[in-house]
Amino acid sequence: MSLIEKLTPEQEALIPVYREKWQKIALSTERIDKDKAVEVLKATYTAIGKQQPEIIFCESPYAGLKIIFKKLPNLNFNNINVLSLNNNVCDYLIANLTNQDREFSYQINTHIVRKLTIVEPSFTPQEYILEDKFQNQPKFNIYLGDRLWLNLQSLANRCCHVDFYVSVLNYYYSKKRYETLQSLSRFCGWISPFEKFCIVCDRPLHLRFDNQNILHAEGEPAIEFTDGFSLYSYHGVTLPEKYGKIHPQQWQSQWLLSEGNAELRRVLIQGIGYARIYQELQAIELDNWQEYRLLKIDNDVDEEPIYLLKMTCPSTGFIHALRVPPNMKSAREAICWVNRGIEPEEFAIQT
C-alpha cells in the first residue's frame, strides 16, 4: 500500500475521535491493576523470546531508580548496552523488527502523524537532575523517556497512530504486536525492563498543563507521584524544585544574575516579566521620547544585553516593557522597530 497523500473528509473527521480515545489513556492518573500488569509484562517478555522476569512495583521513577541501583550497583548510565532489553522492547513494539512492520513505518505520513499526536514531546521532561539524592552516587539524570522509562505517554501516542492507520486506513500491522502494545499502554503505567527484572512505576497522582496542553504548573508540581516525588515544569521546561515550588509572581530578578543555565534564565525572564526586571535590576535609561524610555539592564543577565522599550500610558499610568534588539540607539528607533518600521508620528501614541 502506497503512502497516503491526503485524507478524505470522513477520515479527517475521525482524527479527534482517536486522539481523545488515546489521550484519556495517556493522561490517566488511575492506579494500575498490578495483577493485570504482571499478566501483560509476562506476555511481552515471552513475545520477545525472553524468560519471565522478576516484576517489581514502585510509586515513582525516583523509587524505581533506587531499586535499580540496589540490584545493579555498577550500572553505568552512559553504557547503553546495559539497557539492552529496554531497547529490545522499544524496538519490538515501536521501531518494529519485521519487514512487514518496517513497511508500515515507511508508509506513515508525517503530516498525519502530527495530527494524531496526542502528547507533544515537551509533555514528559526527558531529563531531571537529582542532586545529592544518593549518598554514594554521583549526580545523574533520571530518564523519563524511552532510554530508561518506557512511559505510557509514548506508548499511547504510538497506539493512536497505529489504531488510526489500521482501523481507518486499513493498513496491515501484526495483530499480536498491536495487542501487546495496547495492553502495555492500558495496564502498565511506566516500565523499566531489564534482563532479569522489570520495574513498573505507577501512574502519577497529578498531571497539570497549560492551555496549550503542555506540562505546566505555577508554584506546585506539574507531575506528582503518590510517594511525594515531583517534577516541576513551566510551559514544558523542567524546573529545579527551588524555582518550581515558588509561584512566578514571587520569583526574584536577582536570581538571573546567578543562574548559569540559559534556558532557565529564559524561563525566569518570562515568568518575572520585563516590567519587574528593569525596576528590580535598576536599568539604565539611555534615551527618551515623550512617554517612551529606552532602557538597558547593565548586568550579565542573558546571552546578549537586554534593551527594553518602556511605555507608560498617560491616562492610566500603566507601565509596559518590551524587549528590543541591543543595537537600538534611541527611543524613537526602538518605537519604529516595535511597530515594524512605522515612524512614531504616523500612529497614535495616546490610547
At residue 267, the pLDDT reads 93
Amino acid at 206: H
Q: Is the dihedral of CA 72, 77, 79, 82 positive or negative?
A: positive
Q: Residue 75 burial by CB count (10 A; 0-12/13-18/19+): exposed, middle or buried?
A: middle
Residue identified by cell 500491522 is 173
**Contacts of range 283-288, beta carbons closer than 8 Å, 24 or more positions apart:** 283/308, 286/330, 286/331, 287/329, 287/330, 287/331, 288/331
Using alpha carbons, select from 227, 57, 77, 193 the residue that is nearest to residue 137. 77
pTM over 0.85? The answer is no
> Three-class SS string for the chain?
CCCCCCCCHHHHHHHHHHHHHHHHHHCCCCCCCHHHHHHHHHHHHHHCCCCCCEEEEECCHHHHHHHHHHHCCCCCCCCHHHHHHHHHHHHHHHHCCCHHHHHHHHHCCHHHHHHHCCCCHHHCCCEEEECCCCCCCCCEEEECCCCCCECHHHHHHHHHHHHHHHHCCCCCCCHHHHHHHHHHHHHCCEEEECCCEEEEECCCCEECECCCCCECCCCCCCEECCCCCEEEEECCEEECHHHHCCCHHHCCCCHHHHCCCHHHHHHHHHHHCHHHHHHHCCCEEEEEECCEEEEEECCCCCCCCEEEEEEECCCCCCEEEEEECCCCCCHHHHHHHHCCCCCHHHCCCCC
Structure-derived torsion over alpha carbons of residues 162, 168, 173, 179, reported in degrees to the nearest 10 = 60
Q: Which residues of the chain have pLDDT under 70?
A: 1-5, 75-108, 119-148, 299, 344-351
CB 230 within 8 Å of CB 122: no
Domain map of the chain by residue range? 9-203, 255-346
